[in-house]
């Protein structure tokens, strides 16, 4: 019997994502000036206020106020009527030195012996239903908000948008897990107060359907364009009005959108957030590594869908174990346990091995902090960082290295494909 599956996304202006972006901007600035920095930074945002807290071991001093204001400005909180504005919000820093008890379990005289920064389990997932090997519902939910942000910044076709927004997509699947159609799309977007409530709601719904949706369809291959039909249920600003939003409408915290950040509810999640953590924290680095494994295995033709789990003990370099679930889609005559054994032989899953393979000690994290950490485009960019003394540093970095399909040949050789 056909079934429905739903995923959601949130925009860069959502209060939790504002917090994530500030935390990751601090990570990038620490790593740009001291690649060996150990950082765990949490951010809270609310009406007119930002609170920074966390633990750091680094040789560099940062102007955290300037970094924070730059992030808020880039997101688009630049007007006093938002009640949270880059130039005027208060910023309190309670960042202190990292615990020596934790650090002694991570740092080693030989870097190859580096222990895991925490215990826990991390999951990676990939599916062949989209070209970027992501679950379709989440991929569409992200695309809707990315394009809505483009429309907001263009300020031409739609002129009333504010930074905060959420999306949700429900897809009907056949018994054999093939997408049939889109059942429902939910868009809630913050907006200016420009007309009576019902008139505003009608105008926003009309613009979403007539302007946003065609721009999304144009980005998709023909088979996915066919999922958009006249029977889609659209719920646009279903409360009727969304003028009060962002950190003024809802307090934001780092690490509260872990499902949006990963696979939209498909596969599994180990519970650890990513943003604000340097790569010695396996919550982050091992989640990227298992995504890299899962994507390369599906792309190489080992299976159509896969979940990969890895687990660690704090201070111990070797993982406790690797688990695999191919959901009965394997194209090789191996059990999931045998596939896991081959993964163990192919990929170095020690913290140091992950950091070096995926180039994780570079300032690459600001770009991950909105619209998902997975399924993004691998590219090389140039970034400029300004130190507390005004000195500038230009760094060329490779983003989203865990999305590269650079292990396909090794995988095919190992599995005889």
What is the C-alpha separation between 106 and 295, in angstroms, rounded? 28
What is the C-alpha separation between 56 and 96, in angstroms, rounded? 6
Helix (H, G, I), strand (E, B) or coil at 308: strand
Sheet with 321-325, edge to edge strand ranges:
120-127, 305-312, 321-325
Residue 235 is labelled as binding a ligand: no
Residue 205 is labelled as binding a ligand: no
What is the C-alpha separation between 125 and 140, in angstroms, rounded? 17
Residue 157 is labelled as binding a ligand: no
Residue 242 is labelled as binding a ligand: yes
Residue 177 is labelled as binding a ligand: no
Residue 391 is labelled as binding a ligand: no
Residue 166 is labelled as binding a ligand: yes
What is the C-alpha separation between 338 and 344, in angstroms, rounded? 10
Residue 14 is labelled as binding a ligand: yes
Residue 7's DSSP bridge partners are: 169
Q: Are residues 78 and 70 in contact, defined by beta-carbon separation less than 8 angstroms? A: no
Residue 165 is labelled as binding a ligand: yes
Residue 38 is labelled as binding a ligand: no
Helix (H, G, I), strand (E, B) or coil at 150: helix
Residue 17 is labelled as binding a ligand: no
The torsion angle over the Cα atoms of residues 173, 128, 214 and 265, rounded to 10 degrees, is 60
DSSP string, 258-286: HHHHTTTTSS---S---TTB-TTSHHHHH
What is the C-alpha separation between 238 and 336, in angstroms, rounded? 44
- Report residue 278 as tokens: 């340097």
Residue 84 is labelled as binding a ligand: no
- Report residue 20 as tokens: 């994530």
- What are the two backbone dihedrals, phi and then psi, of residue 121, each rounded to the nearest 5 degrees? -125, 145
DSSP 291: H
Residue 292 is labelled as binding a ligand: no
DSSP string, 5-72: EEEEEE-TTSHHHHHHHHHHHHHHHHHHH-TT-EEEEEEEEETTEEEEEEEEE-S----HHHHHHHHH
Residue 392 is labelled as binding a ligand: no
The binding site comprises: 14, 16, 42, 55, 98, 164-166, 241-242, 250, 256-257, 273, 277, 281
The binding site for L-methionine comprises: 55, 98, 250, 281
The binding site for K(+) comprises: 42
The binding site for Mg(2+) comprises: 16
The binding site for ATP comprises: 14, 164-166, 241-242, 250, 256-257, 273, 277
């Amino acid at each position: 019997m056909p079934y429905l599956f739903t995923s959601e996304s949130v925009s860069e202006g959502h209060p939790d994502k504002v917090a994530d972006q500030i935390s990751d901007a601090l990570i990038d600035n620490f790593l740009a000036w001291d690649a060996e920095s150990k950082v765990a930074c949490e951010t809270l945002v609310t009406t007119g206020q930002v609170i920074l807290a966390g633990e750091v071991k680094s040789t560099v001093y940062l102007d955290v106020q300037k970094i924070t204001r730059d992030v808020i400005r880039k997101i688009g909180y630049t007007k006093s009527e938002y009640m949270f504005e880059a130039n005027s919000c208060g910023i309190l820093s309670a960042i202190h030195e990292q615990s020596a008890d934790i650090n002694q379990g991570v740092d080693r005289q030989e870097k190859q012996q580096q222990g895991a920064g925490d215990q826990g389990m991390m999951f990676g997932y990939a599916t062949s239903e989209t070209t970027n090997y992501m679950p379709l519902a989440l991929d569409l939910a992200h695309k809707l908000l990315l394009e809505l942000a483009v429309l907001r910044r263009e300020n031409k076709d739609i002129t009333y948008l504010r930074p905060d927004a959420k999306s949700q997509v429900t897809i009907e699947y056949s018994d054999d897990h093939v997408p049939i159609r889109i059942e429902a799309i939910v868009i809630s977007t913050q907006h200016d107060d420009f007309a009576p409530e019902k008139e505003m709601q009608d105008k926003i719904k009309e613009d979403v359907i007539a302007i946003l949706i065609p721009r999304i369809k144009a980005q998709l291959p023909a088979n996915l364009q066919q999922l958009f039909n006249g029977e889609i249920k659209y719920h646009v600003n279903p409360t009727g009005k969304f003028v009060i939003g962002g950190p003024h409408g809802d307090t934001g915290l780092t690490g509260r959108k872990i499902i949006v950040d990963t696979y939209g509810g498909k596969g599994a999640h180990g519970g650890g957030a990513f943003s604000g953590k340097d790569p010695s924290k396996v919550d982050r680095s091992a989640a990227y590594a298992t995504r890299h494994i899962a994507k390369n295995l599906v792309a190489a033709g080992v299976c159509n869908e896969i979940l990969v789990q890895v687990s660690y003990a704090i201070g111990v370099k070797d993982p406790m174990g690797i688990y695999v679930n191919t959901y009965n889609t394997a194209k090789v005559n191996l059990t999931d346990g045998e596939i896991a054994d081959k993964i163990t032989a192919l990929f170095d899953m020690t913290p140091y091995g992950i950091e070096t393979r995926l180039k994780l000690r570079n300032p690459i994290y600001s770009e991950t902090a909105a619209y998902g950490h997975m399924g993004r485009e691998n590219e090389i960019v140039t970034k400029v960082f300004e130190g507390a003394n005004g000195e500038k540093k230009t760094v060329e970095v490779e983003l989203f290295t865990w999305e590269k399909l650079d292990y396909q040949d090794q995988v095919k050789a190992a599995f005889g494909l």
